[in-house]
């Protein structure tokens, strides 16, 4: 049996994610962990939009509409490819941050909290044997996605978390040496 540390350090992103999607119980467990993200002043600045089933086709239409708005000269082949991106996994969770005014908590801390919640999603998925990958790309930063997803004015997408059953072998994990990344001070 693997130890929690072995499980934590064996997380790896998986690109080929197929049905079945995580169950409602599995997603509830994932959300319980996501909502435990560190959060200065308990602002709860995150939102999680969960798409699965036919809602993924609707999400693809939002992707295409936002892309066409951002670049009216985009060709139809490219738009079709963008629309199909929502079908790369049987579930997508869009993680966003809704930045709140707070004299002690700058915007960057709220983005970091949302990032921590996204990482918690990856880990909670991994613990349950569910494949996952965090993606961004131009849609993440496309201002027209705001209208498409009925986002708030002060809301930003920080990632699309693709979830599903892993198809094919896991990518080998490349060990990262501590090297210059880790510095001790203990005198």
The residues of the shown chain that bind ligand FMN, judged by CB under 6 A, are 12-13, 133-137, 159
Q: Supply the minimum distance, in Å, between the C-beta of residue 166 and ligand FMN.
A: 12
| Tokens linked to 157 | 């997408």
Nearer to ligand FMN, 12 or 41 (CB): 12
Nearer to ligand FMN, 60 or 159 (CB): 159
Q: Which residues pair with 48 in a beta bridge?
A: 95
Cis peptide bond N-terminal to 20, omega within 30 = yes
DSSP SS3 for 68: helix
Nearer to ligand FMN, 16 or 135 (CB): 135
Nearer to ligand FMN, 101 or 169 (CB): 169
- With 0-12 / 13-18 / 19 or more C-beta atoms within 10 angstroms meaning exposed / middle / buried, residue 64 is buried
Nearer to ligand FMN, 12 or 55 (CB): 12
Q: Supply the minimum distance, in Å, between the C-beta of residue 47 and ligand FMN.
A: 17
Q: Supply the minimum distance, in Å, between the C-beta of residue 140 and ligand FMN.
A: 7
Q: Which residue is nearest to ligand FMN (CB)?
A: 13
Q: 95, 161 in Cβ contact below 8 A?
A: yes
Q: Supply the minimum distance, in Å, between the C-beta of residue 30 and ligand FMN.
A: 16
Nearer to ligand FMN, 104 or 181 (CB): 181
Please, what is the angle between helix 76-84 and helix 55-70, to 10°? 140
DSSP string, 79-145: HHHHHHGGGSSSEEEEEEEE----SSS-HHHHHHHHHHHHHHHHHHHHHTT-EEEEE-SHHHH-TTH
Q: Supply the minimum distance, in Å, between the C-beta of residue 12 and ligand FMN.
A: 4
Q: 38, 146 in Cβ contact below 8 A?
A: no
Q: Supply the minimum distance, in Å, between the C-beta of residue 75 and ligand FMN.
A: 22
């Amino acid at each position: 049996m693997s130890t929690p540390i072995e499980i934590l350090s064996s997380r790896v992103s998986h690109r080929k994610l197929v049905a079945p999607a995580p169950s409602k119980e599995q997603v509830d467990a994932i959300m319980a962990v996501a909502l435990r993200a560190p959060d200065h002043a308990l602002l709860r600045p995150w939102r999680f939009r969960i798409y699965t089933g036919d809602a993924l086709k609707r999400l693809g239409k939002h992707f295409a509409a936002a892309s066409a708005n951002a670049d009216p000269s985009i060709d139809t082949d490219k738009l079709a490819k963008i629309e199909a991106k929502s079908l790369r996994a049987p579930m997508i969770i869009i993680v966003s941050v809704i930045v709140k005014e707070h004299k002690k908590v700058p915007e960057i801390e709220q983005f970091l909290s949302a990032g921590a919640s996204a990482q918690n999603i990856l880990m909670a998925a991994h613990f349950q044997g569910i494949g996952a990958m965090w993606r961004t790309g131009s849609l993440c930063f496309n201002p027209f996605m705001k209208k498409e997803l009925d986002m708030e004015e002060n809301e930003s997408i920080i990632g699309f978390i693709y979830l599903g059953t892993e198809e094919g072998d896991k990518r080998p994990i490349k060990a990262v040496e501590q090297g210059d990344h880790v510095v001790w001070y203990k005198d």
